[in-house]
Amino acid sequence: MISESRAFALLVELYRRGGRITPQGERLIVSGATQALSSDIRIELAHAKPALVMLLGGHGESNDTRDGVPLSGAQQEIWAVEQALPGTTRFNLTSNVLLRGRFSTGAAADALAALIERHAALRTRFAQAPLACPRQFVRAATGVAADIERGLQRLPENAGALLRQIALEQNARPFDLAGGPLFGLHMLTFGDGHVVLTLRRHHIASDGVSFALLVDDFCRFYRAFADGDTPSVSPPLGYPAFVAYEAAALERQGPDTLRTWWRDALGGSAAYAEPSIAMDGAATGSLRFVIDATTTGALRDLARRCGESLYSTMFALFRVLLEAHEAPGAECVGVDASMRDAAEFDRTVGLFINRLPIVHPFDPNAAFVSMIEKAGRKVRAALAHKWLAHHEFGSLRRTRGQPLFSYLFGFHNNAHATFALPDCRLLERFAHREHEQDVPFVCYLTDVGAALSVSVAYRATPQLQTLAVDFAAAYRQLARFAIVTPDIRCGDLVASLRARRRSIDADRRRAFAEFKRRRPAADGGHANA
pLDDT of residue 403: 66
Instruction: Classify residue 237 by burial, with Cβ atoms within 10 Å: 0-12, 13-18, 19+.
Output: buried
Measured CA to CA, the distance from residue 21 to residue 14 in angstroms comes to 8
Residue 320: CB atoms within 10 A of its CB come to 25
Fold agreement (73-234, 254-276+286-343+350-414+436-499)? yes
β pairing state of 451-459 and 135-138: unpaired
CATH superfamily of 73-234: Chloramphenicol acetyltransferase-like domain (3.30.559.10)
pLDDT of residue 395: 74
- CATH number at 254-276+286-343+350-414+436-499: 3.30.559.30
Span 278-290, pLDDT tens digits: 555 567 888 999 9
Single out the residue of 243, 291, 329 nearest to residue 450, CA to CA.
Answer: 291
pLDDT of residue 481: 93
- Per-domain boundaries in the chain: 1-58+237-253, 73-234, 254-276+286-343+350-414+436-499
pLDDT of residue 269: 41
Q: With beta carbons less than 8 A apart as the criterion, state whether 21 and 86 touch.
A: no
Measured CA to CA, the distance from residue 64 to residue 88 in angstroms comes to 26
Measured CA to CA, the distance from residue 474 to residue 201 in angstroms comes to 35
Which helix or strand (DSSP H or E) is residue 162 part of? helix 159-171
What stretches in the chain show pLDDT beneath 50?
A: 64-65, 269-273, 399, 527-529
pLDDT of residue 24: 80
